[in-house]
Amino acid sequence: MNRLFLLLAVLLNSCAKQNNDLIKPEEKNFKSLKQLTFGGDNAEAYWSFDDKRIVFQSNNPKWGLECDQMFVADFNESFENEIPNMISTGKGRTTCSYFIPNNNIIYASTHEFNHLCPETPLRVDGNYVWPIYNTYDIYEADTDGNIIKKLTDSPGYDAEATVSPKGDKIVFTSDRSGDLELFTMNIDGTDIKQITFDLGYDGGAFFSPDGSKIIFRASRPVGEEEQQKYKDLLSKGLVQPTNMELFICNSDGSELRQLTFLGNANWSPFFHPSGDKVLFSSNYNSEQGFPFNIYSIDIDGKNLKQVTFGEMFDSFPVFSNNGKYLLFSSNRNNGGTRDTNIFLAEWQD
């Protein structure tokens, strides 16, 4: 019996060491850290309303993927040697999935326009760009992958949809107005309303825990030259995401104000469970574009603090609804490759 206890102790100690090796010494908010994916680009992992499952996007070539598709898993499953359940069609490119209260999932996809993966330009005139595909629409699907409903059906880009914790509203980004603005709609796709109106890319929006506020990233080109450059890129289905700040407003778009004034790229914000601060990713103190790390800031713009201390890329922080866990994507522990994987942290304030 003593040998059994000794063996268990050795195994537990070994697991703890492996787990702790993933945590940087300065990362005091992480009580434990577990790697969930192993290869390719894995990002934007979001929780079901009951915190039992997550949905995320991946282009892991080991899973036979050529571009991003959507997968569902139990929240603490890892996929080093297995393939999770794919719930997108496997056709076209997908982005930005999110659970709705009935445990179905919404996500954007280009599959109706073309079953093939669209091209992904990365640079124009030496500048890093993101493609804004005008063939994205937002769909509702069940966890078996059956499409239940098409929620948007307008020409142009409709994507980046997330759901209020109250379960009644969706916020998303669309260029239906001629610019990339935020819109809200009911959970069934009805009653679409535009809530931002300033020139620039408004995207990556999330509701506060009580559903009363929205936090998002935005570019705000200043001057004729910057504004014309933004419009020219947008006409080609592109944006340059290298200068973005965080903005916050009420869920109807009122009382809009800029939250960060840091410079460079500040993005992927998500509310802390308290609703009093947000986590976000930033390279504001980098001269070369990297690293990106996760920071926290109070919603009054005070108390900026660094949360992660990675060497290249930490982003997409998302709290569980019960506040116990944080999902995020990181380049850590990728063996020197370019792989970005999803990690599950046990959170402590």
Asked whether residue 7 carries a pLDDT value surpassing 70, the answer given is: no
Asked whether residue 10 carries a pLDDT value surpassing 50, the answer given is: no
pLDDT tens string 276-287: 999 999 999 998
Q: Residues with Cβ < 8 Å from 42, sequence gap 6 or more?
A: 36, 56, 57, 58, 60, 329, 340, 341, 342
Least confident stretch, 16-25, 32-41, 115-124: 16-25
Q: With respect to residue 14, please indicate whether it lies within any of the assigned structural domains.
A: no
- What pLDDT is stored for residue 21 in this prediction? 87
Element (H, E) at 9: helix 2-21
Q: With respect to residue 322, please indicate whether it lies within any of the assigned structural domains.
A: yes
Q: With respect to residue 19, please indicate whether it lies within any of the assigned structural domains.
A: no
CA dihedral 347, 170, 292, 24 (to 10 degrees): 10
Asked whether residue 17 carries a pLDDT value surpassing 90, the answer given is: no
Map tokens 């040998």 to a residue. Answer: 3
Taking alpha carbons only, the member of 42, 25, 10 closest to residue 338 is: 42
- What pLDDT is stored for residue 304 in this prediction? 98
Q: With respect to residue 2, please indicate whether it lies within any of the assigned structural domains.
A: no
Q: What band does 122 get if pLDDT is binned at 50, 70 and 90? A: confident
Asked whether residue 6 carries a pLDDT value surpassing 60, the answer given is: no
C-alpha to C-alpha distance for 284 and 246, rounded to whole angstroms: 12
- What pLDDT is stored for residue 19 in this prediction? 60
Mean pLDDT for the stretch of residues 65-83 = 96
- Give percent above pLDDT 90 in the chain: 91
Domain count, the chain: 1
Q: With respect to residue 5, please indicate whether it lies within any of the assigned structural domains.
A: no
Q: With respect to residue 165, please indicate whether it lies within any of the assigned structural domains.
A: yes
User: What is the pLDDT of the chain when averaged over all its residues?
Assistant: 93
CATH code: domain of residue 43: 2.120.10.30
- What pLDDT is stored for residue 76 in this prediction? 92
C-alpha to C-alpha distance for 105 and 19, rounded to whole angstroms: 31
Q: With respect to residue 15, please indicate whether it lies within any of the assigned structural domains.
A: no
List residues bridging with 294 in a β-sheet. 281
Q: With respect to residue 10, please indicate whether it lies within any of the assigned structural domains.
A: no
| Domain extent at residue 243 | 27-347
